[in-house]
Amino acid sequence: MRISLGRYIPGKSLFHKADPRSKIIWTIVMMVFILLCTTRWQYLMATVFVMIVFLISGIPLKYILKSLRPVAVLMIITTVFNLVFYKGTTVLFAIGSFNVYREALFLSIKMILRIFMLIVSASLLTYTTTSVAITDGIEYLLRPLAIIKFPAHEIAMMMSIALRFIPMFADETDKIIKAQSSRGAEFDSKNVFKKIKSYVPVLIPLFVGAFKSAEDMSVAMESRCYRGGKGRTKFKVLKFTKYDLILLIITAVFCTGVILMKTVFKI
Amino acid sequence: MMEANNFIEFHNVSFRYDSADSGDGEDGENVFAVSGIDFTVKQGEFVGILGRNGSGKSTLAKLMNALLIPTSGDVYVNGMNTRDASWLWEIRKSVGMIFQNPDNQIVASTVEDDVAFGLENLGVPREEMEPRINDALSVVGLADRRLKEPHYLSGGQKQRLAIAGILAMRPSCIVLDESTAMLDPKGRDRIISIVRELNLREKITIILITHHMDEVVDCDRLFIIDKGRIIKSGTPGEIFSDEETVVGAGLELPPVCELFQRLGLLGLRPGETVLTKEAGVEFLTGVR
């Protein structure tokens, strides 16, 4: 089973070495920034920044392309619609009776860049950080919310167990599909409705199995003395190093730089 | 109340699942999963519990570390009554459980993190975890898989990982609740030899619950349980010479015993019940 999102690719880059907390902060800052971008200079700078981090991380390009594949259709459709239906002032060229405007072209490029950057910055986090480290980081970052009784530890534990179970359920799904096809179920129907319907006999045993597993798991955890986050020690302790300081400083400088450009130089 | 070297004591224990969460396939509401159970396990003993599906074996196991509290009667673990909630974590720490499904008892996403899970729960300081994890993993022969994801382990390796997770917590007793049922013969042998070793070297009390007869031929003591009651107890020799009870409880004799039982019908009668291949070979060469 191939799941490219959330897959960790081992490496020794500076970005790999950074603490999950600072990487999570970096990803969130970048995503917010990308969503708030308006001018083309801002887009350009965001793109350059994300690409620099991508180069540092040493993640092969094919993995980035792989994680883009699911949204490729979305990107193409929005581009086509933008080009065809957006009405601007300057006509670039015409296809039949449709005019393609300059503004439409820029808008499409912005849209593509935006989706591209969102995916790349998120997948840089998951490619360079193990799921355990990510959940640890999230738990730590959510810890202040404990004041308002937010169950940070429980949520992190649930996430890490969920991540543990994903490959198991993938295998299980495979098995059930094989079992059902051996009893004559059809899964390769061209008809979308038939196809959806044919997955019902897969989902039901999968769900039943999931509940059984969850129950077994909770008993096993209890018998190993699990009693929530209280009094628990940690085997892996997060360490904030100089790489994190550098990453966060650069991110901060980048953000203030862009804001300054906007307010002072009006670009 | 309790003899000095008894580790686990069951005093007239009965247990009934609420009709809301029915247990091991029991259908009626008022059926006791186990009833009138009385037995003791000594410190350092290797005990086998045999029974067919739905006989109450798993219920018995869960009563041993306070996952279930008896409906009536009392269970003592190292002198601590499982009813007393203040002993709960002490009991669970000293009685480790290995369950049937290897996939459903691994919590973390790497081997070492999973061994660390129990230690984290106990609040063991970080510096102490490293050596404990190392020791536990090398006992079960998984030291070279430390950083692997459990998903890439075989069923037998997963069960060994589960044992390591328990061992790191330094239990006095390990209960294996049909832990070999989903494994291939090789994986099964490995698990059994590991627990034997733990029993001999570390003097850890082992309670092996199974329906594979050949796993229990060298236990110190055996119990056969059927319909929630202990119907026979004794040494493997005593148990397997009583074919009627074994078969009556829905079990089969170990293949070697079966063979010699049949040979017995032909007039070849060894003096005592033959339990292992080696003993069988010895007897047959003597005959010739």
Chain B: closest CA distance from residue A235 (Å): 6
Q: What is the pLDDT of residue B137?
A: 95
Residue A237 pLDDT class (50, 70, 90 cuts): confident
Q: Phi, psi at residue B12, to the nearest 5°? A: 45, 55
Q: What is the pLDDT of residue A253?
A: 92
Query: Count of A–B CB contacts within 8 Å?
Result: 92
Residue A257 pLDDT greater than 90, yes or no: no
Contact A225 B113 (CB under 8 A): no
Which residue ranges make up each domain of chain A? 1-129+238-267, 151-236
Percent of chain B with pLDDT over 90: 59
- The span from the CA of A110 to the CA of A262, in Å, is 18
How many other C-beta atoms can be found within 10 angstroms of the C-beta atom of residue B253?
Answer: 21
Q: What is the pLDDT of residue B225?
A: 92
Q: What is the pLDDT of residue A22?
A: 93
Residue B271 pLDDT class (50, 70, 90 cuts): low
- Structure tokens belonging to residue B174: 């390990």
Does residue B169 or residue B269 have the better pLDDT? Answer: B169
Residue A87 pLDDT class (50, 70, 90 cuts): confident
In residues, how long is chain A? 267
- Break chain A down into helix, strand, coil percent, rounded to 5: 75, 5, 25
Contact B120 A232 (CB under 8 A): yes
- The span from the CA of A251 to the CA of A32, in Å, is 13
Q: Reply yes or no on domain B44-61+89-251 having CATH 3.40.50.300.
A: yes
Q: What is the pLDDT of residue A21?
A: 92
Residue labelled with tokens 């984290």: B120
Q: What is the ipTM of this complex?
A: 0.85
CA angle A26, A30, A33 (to 5 degrees): 140
**DSSP assigned state of A267:** -
Please report residues of B whose CB lies closer than 8 A to that of A232. 120-121, 123
Rounded average pLDDT over A47-56: 91
* Cα radius of gyration rounded to whole Å, chain B: 20
- The span from the CA of B110 to the CA of B96, in Å, is 20
- The span from the CA of B155 to the CA of B153, in Å, is 7
pLDDT tens by residue, B199-233: 999 999 999 999 888 888 889 999 999 999 999 99
Chain B: closest CA distance from residue A234 (Å): 6
Mean of per-residue pLDDT scores for chain B: 87
- The span from the CA of B120 to the CA of A237, in Å, is 12
- Structure tokens belonging to residue A39: 């001018």
Chain A: closest CA distance from residue B154 (Å): 13
Please report residues of B whose CB lies closer than 8 A to that of A160. 108-109
Residue B269 pLDDT greater than 70, yes or no: no
Q: Dump the DSSP string for B26-51.
A: --STT--SEEEEEEEEETT-EEEEE-
Q: What is the pLDDT of residue B30?
A: 58
Q: What is the pLDDT of residue B247?
A: 87
Residue B238: what residue type?
Answer: E
CA angle B183, B185, B189 (to 5 degrees): 95
Residue B106 pLDDT greater than 80, yes or no: yes
Chain B: closest CA distance from residue A206 (Å): 14
pLDDT tens by residue, B9-57: 999 999 998 765 544 444 545 578 999 999 999 999 999 999 988 888 9
In residues, how long is chain B? 288
Rounded average pLDDT over A194-213: 89
Q: What is the pLDDT of residue A6?
A: 56
Residue A252: what residue type?
Answer: A
Query: Nearest-CA neighbor of B41 among B62, B14, B10?
Result: B10
Provide the pairing of β-strand B205-210 with B173-177: parallel
Rounded average pLDDT over A83-104: 80
Q: What is the pLDDT of residue B224?
A: 93
Q: Is any Cβ of chain A less than 8 angstroms from the Cβ of B93?
A: yes
As a dihedral over the C-alpha atoms of residue A209, residue A135, residue A238, residue A146, rounded to 10 degrees, the angle is -110
pLDDT tens by residue, B136-165: 999 999 999 998 888 889 999 999 999 999
Q: Which of A223, A226, A232, A233 to mutate to test the interface with B (most CBs of B within 10 A)?
A: A223
Produce one character per residue of B216-232: b if its CB has 16 or more CB atoms within 10 Å, e if not: bbebebbbbbbbbbbeb
As a dihedral over the C-alpha atoms of residue B155, residue B156, residue B162, residue B164, rounded to 10 degrees, the angle is -150
Q: Is any Cβ of chain A less than 8 angstroms from the Cβ of B110?
A: yes
| B13-17, B96-100, B241-245: range with lowest mean pLDDT | B241-245
Residue B196 pLDDT greater than 70, yes or no: yes
Distances (CA, A) of B213 to A117, A132, A194, B25: 61, 41, 49, 22
Residue A267 pLDDT class (50, 70, 90 cuts): low
Which residue ranges make up each domain of chain B? 44-61+89-251, 254-288
CB A170 within 8 A of CB A200: no
